[in-house]
Chains A and B, each alone.
Chain A
Amino acid sequence: ETGVTQTPRHLVMGMTNKKSLKCEQHLGHNAMYWYKQSAKKPLELMFVYSLEERVENNSVPSRFSPECPNSSHLFLHLHTLQPEDSALYLCASSQLRGGNSPLHFGNGTRLTVT
């Protein structure tokens, strides 16, 4: 149990589908993050939420839409994705927002866009 739970673990969707990824943290942290992990590339930060407010959006296409209803839950809504969006999507949380507060990652959702 990592303290950060992501569902589903695997997702296959067509380019016209709409789906959502869910993340829940049980650590009492105040910041939550979405990262994209692609092969042979560094982890890419997509969104940051601090105290339920989005504080960062790293030029992510609008086909990715985050939602943070409370400090324990984070969603990533997906629609009209492209095959190049296939990747491992990782959720993370930290006590404080900021690079030097350790990140706690979930085990990710492996997304395949067909």
Chain B
Amino acid sequence: GENVEQHPSTLSVQEGDSAVIKCTYSDSASNYFPWYKQELGKGPQLIIDIRSNVGEKKDQRIAVTLNKTAKHFSLHITETQPEDSAVYFCAAILTGGGNKLTFGTGTQLKVEL
């Protein structure tokens, strides 16, 4: 069925290093790809999104890249800080799923001092 696969499920980096989280999707018609950050005890918060008419979008230390041909998109966090530690979710609209936003299973990012 239509789904979004996310890897890795856990990621540990040293403070100051970069972190990359990758997602693949199955619906070639998908056109909107948001990323959410969920801190402990809180709900997911939108941190960046990208639409299919662009290949890359950047906002300070975070960036998202999209490869529509390969049907994958990635979140890049540079100069990681302890406050970046959280669970990150990718999502995509899957037209086969009734144009609903479908989430990946999440990546637990830990930034170590």
Asked if residues B100 and A45 are in contact (CB atoms below 8 Å), the reply is: yes
> In the bound complex, how far is the Cα of B103 from the Cα of A45, in angstroms?
10
Answer whether residue A111 sits at the interface, using C-beta atoms and an 8 A cutoff.
no
Asked if residues A102 and B34 are in contact (CB atoms below 8 Å), the reply is: yes
Q: Which of B31, B42, B49, B102 contacts A102 (CB 8 A)?
A: B49
**Given A42-B104, A42-B105, A99 and B45 contact (CB-CB distance below 8 Å):** no
> In the bound complex, how far is the Cα of B106 from the Cα of A45, in angstroms?
16
Asked if residues A99 and B101 are in contact (CB atoms below 8 Å), the reply is: yes
* Nearest CB of chain A from residue B18's CB, rounded to whole Å: 25
Q: Which of A2, A43, A100 contacts B31 (CB 8 A)?
A: A100
Number of interface residues of B (CB under 8 A): 25
Asked if residues A4 and B43 are in contact (CB atoms below 8 Å), the reply is: yes
Asked if residues B99 and A2 are in contact (CB atoms below 8 Å), the reply is: no
* Nearest CB of chain A from residue B75's CB, rounded to whole Å: 16
Tell me which residues across on chain A come within 8 A of B99, comparing CB atoms: 98-99
Asked if residues B102 and A42 are in contact (CB atoms below 8 Å), the reply is: yes
**Given A98-B99, A100-B31, A103-B101, A43 and B89 contact (CB-CB distance below 8 Å):** yes
Smallest Cβ-Cβ distance to B98: which chain A residue: A56
Tell me which residues across on chain A come within 8 A of B49, comparing CB atoms: 102
Given contacts A56-B100, A100-B32, A108-B42, 8 further A-B contacts (CB under 8 A): A2-B42, A2-B45, A40-B105, A42-B4, A45-B101, A56-B98, A103-B44, A105-B45
Binding site for B on A (CB under 8 A): 2, 4, 6, 40-43, 45, 56, 90, 92, 98-100, 102-108
